[in-house]
Amino acid sequence: RLTATLFNNPRYCHFVGCYFCPRCHAGDLRVIPARVAERWDFEPRKVCKMAAEFLDAQVNLPLVPITRVRRTKVSSQSALTEMHALRQKLMRILQVLSESSCEFHETLTAILSAQLPAYMLHGVDLYTMQDLIRLAIESRSYPPFGRLARLATMGAEHIRVCATCQSGARFCAICASPRPVYIFEIGAYRACDCCQAVFHSKCFARAGSECPVCLRPRANVRRPSLAPVR
């Protein structure tokens, strides 16, 4: 138990949640991950030496799932939402290129490997604390944000003009528009969970969020007669 004296007061660590003596707590300031996830709070707080070393070792590791970051009304969090959408779009673009066996898949993968951190090539959910801190400070000026935006635009433009990629194009089953619906169009693409027919999200909403392709067989099923049997 630490005792307060005239010359020596115990110091509180905001990461561990305990008090330490001045030998173990030098007043180092660090951003607390839990406060970022729960409140989008990046104010540095005093931590003990052990906690400071631990946080420094973890700051560049992809350990923060975006599902653990609570949504707030803070404007700076919108940059994280947009960056996450770009990462999803890029992974879906790679999926289209892979499924169509387009040679541009290897080219784009090589560019991604050179310009983005490795963890961004193997999923979309994990972020580093450094990502979150710099997004809060720099917003859309954060370099990886700009790279993701440029690469996603490059991939989408290629797919829209490439004959190989167009071979597997899908079209809205409701409006029958001649313009394909692409899986990488986040927010505009909707696929039926049962028959995998694709739609524009707005068309699907106007249809009462029910798949017309699945409804047709049900409508054609002959209903039993309710007339009395003689």
Say whether pLDDT at 223 is over 70.
no
**What amino acid is encoded at 132 in this protein?**
L
Please write the tens of the pLDDT for every residue from 160-210: 999 999 887 888 888 878 888 888 988 888 888 888 888 888 888 888 888
Taking the C-alpha atoms of residue 139 and residue 137, their distance in angstroms, rounded to an integer, is: 6
User: In angstroms, what is the C-alpha Rg of the chain?
Assistant: 26
pLDDT grade, residue 230 (50/70/90)?
Answer: very low
Taking the C-alpha atoms of residue 208 and residue 189, their distance in angstroms, rounded to an integer, is: 16
**What are the strands, taking DSSP E only, across the chain?**
11-12, 19-20, 28-30, 45-47, 64-65, 126-127, 189-191, 198-200
Instruction: Please report how many Cα atoms fall inside a 13 Å half-sphere around the Cα of residue 77, on the Cβ side.
Output: 14
Amino acid 213: pLDDT: 83
Its pTM stands at: 0.81
Say whether pLDDT at 38 is over 90.
yes
Q: Which residue has the higher pLDDT, 146 or 219?
A: 146
**Residues 83, 148 contacting (CB under 8 angstroms):** yes
- Nearest-CA neighbor of 93 among 119, 117, 67, 121? 121
Please write the tens of the pLDDT for every residue from 48-85: 999 999 999 999 999 999 999 998 888 889 999 999 99
Say whether pLDDT at 103 is over 70.
yes
Instruction: Using DSSP, state whether 151 is helix, strand or coil.
Output: helix
Please write the tens of the pLDDT for every residue from 117-156: 999 998 999 999 999 999 999 999 999 999 999 999 999 9
Taking the C-alpha atoms of residue 19 and residue 216, their distance in angstroms, rounded to an integer, is: 68
Largest Cα–Cα distance in the chain?
Answer: 105
Strand partners, 42: none
Instruction: Using DSSP, state whether 158 is helix, strand or coil.
Output: helix
